[in-house]
Amino acid sequence: GENVEQHPSTLSVQEGDSAVIKCTYSDSASNYFPWYKQELGKRPQLIIDIRSNVGEKKDQRIAVTLNKTAKHFSLHITETQPEDSAVYFCAASLAGIKAAGNKLTFGGGTRVLVKP
């Protein structure tokens, strides 16, 4: 089955700096890679996702890049703000194939702390 590794496990940045979180996956068939943000005591929520036919996607201060050959993808947050402090999870899935169940395999999470 799919295995997703996420690094670093904790990340402390100064407000205004950039933050980068990296994930690697094992199943070359995976075609959908979402990122979730989980604030303390709250449910995980999707912040951005990318499909395997796209190399990069951007939404305001966040962007995701995907390298299919190397089987890794990254989340980039620019101009970090205190409200970006949370735990971020990457995930991988074989989407659109019923037999695969649309299961999301998650990385271990990165706790991001933005210091004012």
Partner 1 sequence: DGGITQSPKYLFRKEGQNVTLSCEQNLNHDAMYWYRQDPGQGLRLIYYSQIVNDFQKGDIAEGYSVSREKKESFPLTVTSAQKNPTAFYLCASSPGPTPGGASIEAFFGQGTRLTVV
Cis ω before 82 (30° cut-off from 0): no
Is 12 a binding residue for partner 1 by CB under 8 A? The answer is no
The CB-of-18 to partner 1 minimum distance in angstroms stands at: 23
What are 38's two structure tokens?
Answer: 């989980």
What are 67's two structure tokens?
Answer: 């390298």
Is 40 a binding residue for partner 1 by CB under 8 A? The answer is no
Interface region with partner 1, contact rule CB under 8 A, candidates 54-62, 64-72, 77-85, 93-101? 93-101
- Name the residue among 77, 100, 103 with its Cα closest to residue 21: 77
Residues of this chain, 57-76, that bind partner 1 according to CB under 8 A: none
What strand order describes the sheet that includes 56-59? Answer: 4-7, 19-25, 72-77, 62-67, 56-59
| Binder of partner 1 out of 35, 86, 89, 114 (CB under 8 A) | 89
Residue 87 CA to its chain's centroid (Å):
10
Is 85 a binding residue for partner 1 by CB under 8 A? The answer is no
Question: Which residues lie near partner 1 (CB under 8 A)?
Answer: 1, 4, 6, 9, 31-32, 34, 42-46, 49, 51, 89, 93, 95-98, 101-109, 111
